[in-house]
Amino acid sequence: MNKLLRFSLFFLVFAWFSNTANAQCVSSSSNVYEFFYNGTHYEIIRENKSWQSAANCAVMRGGYLAEINSQQEQDSIFYHVNQAGIIASNTVAPDGGNASYLWLGGNDLASEGDWIWDGKNTGTGPQFWQGTTAGGPIGGLYNNWGFEPDDFNGQDALGLAFTNWPLGTAGQWNDVKHTNLLYFIIEDADTLVALVHPEDQIEFNAYPNPGSGLFSVELPEDIYGQDQALIRVFDLNGQLVQELRVSKRKTHLDLTGFTNGLYFLQLVNGNVVRATEKIMLQK
């Protein structure tokens, strides 16, 4: 394939990808505020999503909803939340004293009172708190609740307060309903810049396409053997359905357990998205 054709094809695929999967995640890069803490890339996303949609979006961007593990991380995140150009009235949880919040990666959705760090929305993760205000931390893990959690009318997701509420102050945590549509904070997001540099793109083939479940994925020589290469598979809703580490030039991808439809493949190398592909599953 000549270079110009390859270049054009790349942009067609990229435009198509942006218009479908990414459109359901972040609609404009101008709504993304980036920062680094302790060598890790964070993003504050100024778009409103339910807790689960926000977590799915975090995974699609290569990370997870932020999990705060220390006072230093709390302080750094809250500092940047205040630098991120957030208009408080755009990210309000009515059941959280009508104050403003951003999603963090904690919830007690799976089991009431068992607060876990579940920033990838897998339903599992380390537990950091047990019970309501009368409860306590688990395993000495960090927490920064206000006079919370109180499970008021059934609250199962963790909000970082941007403004004060009757039971706490800005910066502290509150449990609010997971269906609130709030801004959110992603930890360990990929650096997506490679997508706009076609010369950095990696050749990446998945076949047969369409296929009935077993796909072969072929990678070029230059990432052969590097254990940092990852293939991620997303469904049309942006939910991560599979993630595999690439250690061989030719890899097999088994989607036989999934429903028919279109899936997106992301090839990640060196914490950068190097290629995207779409495959059709037709059993």
Residue number, 150 or 243, with CB nearest to Ca ion: 150
Q: Which stretch binds Ca ion (CB under 5 A): 49-57, 171-179, 210-218, 251-259?
A: 171-179
CA gap 30, 68 in Å, rounded: 25
- From residue 150, how far is each of 28, 29, 42, 118, 191 by CA, in Å? 35, 36, 29, 19, 37
Can you tell me the distance from the alpha carbon of 253 to that of 74, in angstroms, rounded to the nearest whole number?
39
Taking CB under 5 A as the binding criterion, the range among 78-86, 174-182, 214-222, 260-268 that sits at the site for Ca ion is 174-182
Q: Do 34 and 42 touch, CB atoms closer than 8 A?
A: yes
Q: List the interface residues with Ca ion, window 239-268 (CB under 5 A).
A: none
Q: Is residue 190 involved in binding Ca ion (CB under 5 A)?
A: no
Site map 147..166 versus Ca ion, x via CB under 5 A: -x-xxx--xx----------
| Smallest distance from Ca ion to CB 129, Å | 11
Element (H, E) at 100: strand 99-107
> Is 118 among the residues that bind Ca ion (CB under 5 A)?
no
Contact status, residue 265 vs residue 245, Cβ threshold 8 Å = no
Least distance in angstroms from the C-beta of 243 to Ca ion: 19
Tokens 């995640």 label which residue?
25
**Residue with smaller CB distance to Ca ion, 155 or 180:** 155
Please check whether residue 171 is in contact with residue 26, taking contact to mean a CB–CB distance below 8 angstroms.
no
Instruction: Pick the piece of the chain touching Ca ion (CB under 5 A) from 29-37, 170-178, 214-222, 253-261.
Output: 170-178
Of 70 and 83, which has the nearer Cβ to Ca ion? Answer: 70
In the complex with Ca ion, the residue whose CB is nearer, 78 or 215, is: 78
Bridge partner residues of 207 (DSSP):
216
Q: Determine if 69 is a binding residue for Ca ion (CB under 5 A).
A: yes
Min CB(31)–Ca ion separation in Å? 22
What minimum distance in Å lies between the beta carbon of 137 and Ca ion?
Answer: 16
67 lies in the site for Ca ion, by CB under 5 A: yes
DSSP state string for 174-186: EEE-TTS-EEEEE
Coil, strand or helix: which one is 198?
A: helix
Residue nearest to Ca ion (CB): 151
Distance of closest approach, residue 168 Cβ to Ca ion, in angstroms = 9
Q: What is the DSSP string of 214-276?
A: EEEEE--GGGTT-TT-EEEEE-TT--EEEEEE--SSEEEEE-TTSPSEEEEEEEEETTEEEEE
Q: Which residues bind Ca ion (CB under 5 A)?
A: 67, 69, 108, 148, 150-152, 155-156, 174-175
